[in-house]
Amino acid sequence: MPSCSFIGPAIFDGTTLYHGAALNITAGRVTSIGPPVTEPVRLPAGILAPGFIDLQVNGAGGLAVDGNATPETLGLICAAQSRLGATGCLPTLITDTAEATAAVIAAGIAAARNNTPGFLGLHLEGPHLDPRRKGAHDPALIRPMTENDLQTLIHAAENLPALMVTVAPESTTADQIAALRAAGAVVSLGHSDCTAQTALAAGADCVTHLFNAMSQLGNREPGLVGAALSSDLYAGLIADGIHVDPVTLRIALAAKPDRVFLVSDCMGLAGTDLAEMTLGGRRILRQNGKLTLADGTLAGADLTIPRALQVLTQIGIPPERALAMATTIPATLIGRADLGQLRPGARADMVHLSPDYTLTQVWRAGLPVTSFQGTARDDGGTGGKGNEPRL
């Protein structure tokens, strides 16, 4: 692949916004931000940023992560996510049977061995949760972690590029959490009614979808929310303005100046115009910008990362911080310092956003993935027309 230079938009390298500079790429990797090194490709105004890293993706493109998932299913979900700007993601299985969990892990390990584009590992959200905070999870499948479960998860952590596991302290022990972390898993607390003291003593890395399905911040008991906001725990955030009120978003981000990252928590409806789907035998309905079960319980989010960026910037969050929440922070959490940035040596996975944060173009390793002029598609990294950059 020849060298190319992109100019026109501001360039976000993962930390800083640069204006009036070019992003220079050779062989699919960033070489510099500065003067163009070749005849530049001029992009429209907006921001050129690293490809987004989404650590909570329940599905996309009409496909769900479930016990029937195959390596091909995971690949199609990752391809659909790339068209939404997430050039790397963790396909996410919510609470299910031990057999379904094992099947998804096997599919994930095979997807990793196949070097599936965009596949960064798995997120297993449950089944070791607190049924009092079940949310849209099936309470009949929630259960404490056994030794067999632990060994299955350790095997997954040792054989996947990354494994995130959401658990509740009520259904796990500190020793189990320590064993998972020792095997390389990122352990996140969620769907829990625990106290702040219990949460902080659990030894976890992260909190899953902050504020949702967890004990809230109170005047005498800070709950899991208080533990997240007052500690160095990472915290995922669904910034759709529905799961968390914009006022609460501002308060949380003022209280916790770093380690908060964006997740879409999207379902298989993402990237489609479908009005509903079935997951685990239950209907998920799409209406008024949200996804719900038939009883109105929120069931994931009808959200993309660009939309979350719009929500954050509209409530006054600086662009650099909002963009870091979608790139460098989640990449750092899963140990991928090579992703979520556009610094020299980094892979040129990137997105172009218009001034209002509408996604207009995606590249993987410097080659176009999607054209948003007409029907979106994944061109398998070739752009459909050789190696020439295009819009």
Active site residue ranges: 265
**Cα 148 versus chain centre, distance:** 28
- CA pair distance 191, 203, nearest whole angstrom: 16
- CA pair distance 326, 86, nearest whole angstrom: 9
Render 271-330 in DSSP notation, one character per residue.
TS--SEEEETTEEEEEETTEEE-TTS-B-SBS--HHHHHHHHHHTT--HHHHHHHHTHHH
Sign of the alpha-carbon dihedral angle for 196, 199, 203, 206: negative
Q: What are the CA-CA distances from residue 235 to residues 15, 265, 352, 359 (Å)?
A: 19, 13, 26, 25
Q: Are strands 10-12 and 17-18 parallel, antiparallel or unpaired?
A: antiparallel
- CA pair distance 290, 2, nearest whole angstrom: 44
Q: How many helices (H) and strands (E) does the chain have?
A: 10, 23
Containing H/E element for 224? helix 223-229
Question: 340 Cβ partners below 8 Å, 6+ apart?
Answer: 14, 50, 51, 53, 88, 327, 328, 329, 330, 331, 332
Containing H/E element for 364? strand 359-364
Helices 98-113 and 147-159: angle between axes, nearest 10 degrees: 10
- CA pair distance 146, 7, nearest whole angstrom: 55
Sign of the alpha-carbon dihedral angle for 36, 42, 45, 46: negative
Render 131-200 in DSSP notation, one character per residue.
GGG-TTS-GGG-----HHHHHHHHHHHHHSS-EEEEE-GGGS-HHHHHHHHHTTPEEEE-SB---HHHHH
